[in-house]
Amino acid sequence: AEYDLLVLNGLVVTHDNTVELDIAVKDGKIAKLSPRGVLNGGMAKKVIDAEGGMMMPGGVDAHVHLDEPALFGKGETADNYETGTRSAIAGGTTTLITFAPQRKTEPSLLAALAATHARAKGNCYSDYSFHLICSNAGPKAISEFAALRKAGVSSLKIYMTYEALQLKDSEILDVLFEARKQKIVTMIHAENGAIIDWTIKKLEEKKLFAPKYHVTSHPPVAEIEATYRAISLSGFIDVPILIVHVSSPAAAKHISDAQRKGLPVYAETCPQYLFLTRKDLDKPGFEGAKCVCSPPPREGEQDHEGIWRGLEDGTFTVLSSDHCPFLYDNTEIGKKSVISSEYPNGHFKYIPNGCPGVETRLSLTLSANRLQLQKFVEVTSTNAAKLYGLYPRKGALISGESDADLTIWYPEGMKEFELTNSMLHHNVDYTPYEGRTMKQWPRYTVLRGEVVWARDEGGLIGKKGYGEFLKRDVSSLAGCRSEEWDVENF
């Protein structure tokens, strides 16, 4: 046969177009996009009839934690590379960029990269790539940025909070200065660690320990101040940054102001900041622990509205999951470790920070029916590929250039259903979105021409180990404003 796969009768939606086309796939690549009637079933080994459903470039989730140690206490994330990438493809996401964590006691970033490769290799259902988490920004780490680029890593994450990870402002400048030279995008967790620690002490003095006080202990000002400081430091060096997991509309305002001034400041938000609020943490007993993440869900609808607007108006470049899964009912790190005779209902500060969401990111957002479809593709796939140097191999459907990664949705009129954790493919004992009404779910996921998810025909049919490591190039979105930077000029 001329082609390996044809997908017929679908509505192709990319970040810049919505058009009825048929798709032909050959050797794992998009070979042709044709008007109806040109391609026919006889021309390929396999045919999918999309029956009018939307076909989009496979989801790219650029913020996922797999097989990582917890940030405080004992234990690690519930998902490893096998279960996390399995969950991704069942939710329509074909590429993950996960984190390779460097510990403070480990001076080398390359060592952290090698260790992460060993955890991922042969275990992945989806394609994958890594951001390095830099928590020890000493001379050794800084000297390795050039080698990271050669190894296909063009982004780093740094933290302004958490004792185990936090960098001082001078260390942040060291990172940004070398990132500028090596054309690396720096992702920043922008929360003021001192404000958080101080607030935790005040809550403890009043014996307020319930899960909902996690929200109180991470006030908007911690996020707003750190966001403005991160923008200031990156503006000083003139280097692109991305503020990760923005939850506060007031922090988003600092970001859009910086963008209006022409600074290369990018931002990310996540479904938890569109769908969860403090109320989700304010439940009887320990239940609220299921929605503890940092930054926390904010107060209410007006916050959600501000974040949706930021997606619509381009303040947010990407919508990632920040999938950071921990078991609820677990003795090492979950409920049983947090509840004690001293804290019979637990203590919020010992709850690991993070929610699962790699599988629900696309469906929840699409089901909300709020974003224009092309904008949805842009923020859930295309922009992540562009920002992190994977475009147009990923995030696009360009013949001869893009991998044949597709998320194919049900045609109009799919029966709504209630989400339950038992439907999901992660290794977590809950979803924060239990019981939500879903209006869509991927019917098929295709990765490099192979059908890896067919909801009505076997479900998960991809193979562990099929996922490949993706070497990334420089960002095609983000760059410095001027070629030269000299400390004398500032």
Q: Is 218 in the site for ligand DUC (CB under 6 A)?
A: no
Residue 180 contact partner, candidates ligand DUC, Zn ion, none, CB within 5 to 8 A by sort of partner: none
322 is a contact residue toward ligand DUC (CB under 6 A): yes
Cβ-contact 449, 402 below 8 angstroms: no
The DSSP output letter for 166 is B
Window 41-70: residues binding ligand DUC (CB under 6 A): 65
| Longest CA pairwise span in the chain (Å) | 73
Using an 8 Å Cβ cutoff, are 135 and 101 in contact?
yes
Q: Which does 353 bind (CB under 5 to 8 A by kind): ligand DUC, Zn ion, none?
A: ligand DUC
Q: Is 221 exposed, middle or buried (0-12, 13-18, 19+ CB in 10 A)?
A: middle
Interacting residue with ligand DUC among 324, 387, 396, 470 (CB under 6 A): 324
Give least dist CB 306 to Zn ion, A.
Answer: 11
Is there binding between residue 131 and ligand DUC (CB under 6 A)?
no
Q: How far is the CB of 297 from ligand DUC (least distance, A)?
A: 13
Spatial contact of 161 and 185, defined as CB atoms under 8 Å apart = no
Q: Which is nearer to ligand DUC, 245 or 304 (CB)?
A: 245
**CA atoms within 13 Å, Cβ hemisphere of 360:** 31
Q: Which does 192 bind (CB under 5 to 8 A by kind): Zn ion, ligand DUC, none?
A: none
Please report whether residue 109 would count as binding ligand DUC according to CB under 6 A.
no
In this structure, what is the dihedral angle of CA atoms 326, 328, 330, 331, given to the nearest 10 degrees? 100
Residue 478 beta carbon to Zn ion: minimum distance, rounded to whole angstroms: 19
CB 409 within 8 A of CB 440: yes
Does residue 129 sit in helix, strand or coil?
strand
* CB 323, min distance to ligand DUC, A: 9
Q: Which of 189/426 has CB closer to Zn ion?
A: 189
Question: At which residue do the structure tokens 């780093």 appear?
Answer: 156
Is residue 223 within the footprint of ligand DUC (CB under 6 A)? no
Pick the closer one to ligand DUC by CB: 24 or 252.
Answer: 252
The contact set with Zn ion (CB under 5 A) reads 189, 304, 322, 324
245 forms part of the interface with ligand DUC (CB under 6 A): yes
Given the DSSP bridges, would you call strands 442-447 and 406-409 parallel, antiparallel or unpaired? antiparallel
Q: Which of 366, 375, 275 is nearest to 318 (CA)?
A: 375
CA 175 to CA 157: how far, in whole Å?
A: 10
Q: How far is the CB of 16 from Zn ion (least distance, A)?
A: 29
Q: Find which of ligand DUC, Zn ion, none residue 304 binds, CB within 5 to 8 Å per kind.
A: Zn ion
| Shortest distance, position 245 Cβ to ligand DUC, whole Å | 6
The two beta strands, 93-101 and 127-133, are: parallel
Q: If binding means CB under 6 A, how many residues of this protein chain bind ligand DUC?
A: 10
DSSP-assigned letter for residue 261: T
With vertex at residue 274, the alpha carbon angle to CA 367 and CA 186, rounded to the nearest 5 degrees, is 115
Q: Could you tell me the smallest distance in angstroms from the CB atom of residue 422 to Zn ion? A: 25
What distance in Å separates the CA atoms of residue 61 and residue 433, rounded to the nearest whole number?
Answer: 18
Q: How far is the CB of 65 from ligand DUC (least distance, A)?
A: 6
Joined tokens for residue 91: 């939710």
Residue 12 or 324 having the CB closest to ligand DUC:
324
Binding mask 280-319 for ligand DUC (x = CB under 6 A): -------------xx-------------------------
Minimum separation from the CB atom of position 369 to ligand DUC (A): 27
Q: Which is nearer to ligand DUC, 334 or 449 (CB)?
A: 334
Shortest distance (Å) from residue 460 CB to ligand DUC: 26
Tell me which H or E stretch contains 407: strand 406-409
Provide DSSP, 10-45: EEEEETTEEEEEEEEEETTEEEEEE-TTSS-GGGEE
354 near ligand DUC (CB under 6 A): yes
Closer to ligand DUC by Cβ: residue 233 or 293: 293
Single-letter code of the amino acid located at 24 = A
Q: Tokens at residue 400, please? A: 């001869």
Return the residue of 26, 180, 189, 347 that touches ligand DUC, per CB under 6 A.
189
- Under the binding rule (CB under 6 A), the answer on residue 407 touching ligand DUC is no
| Binding residues vs ligand DUC (CB under 6 A) | 65, 189, 244-245, 293-294, 322, 324, 353-354
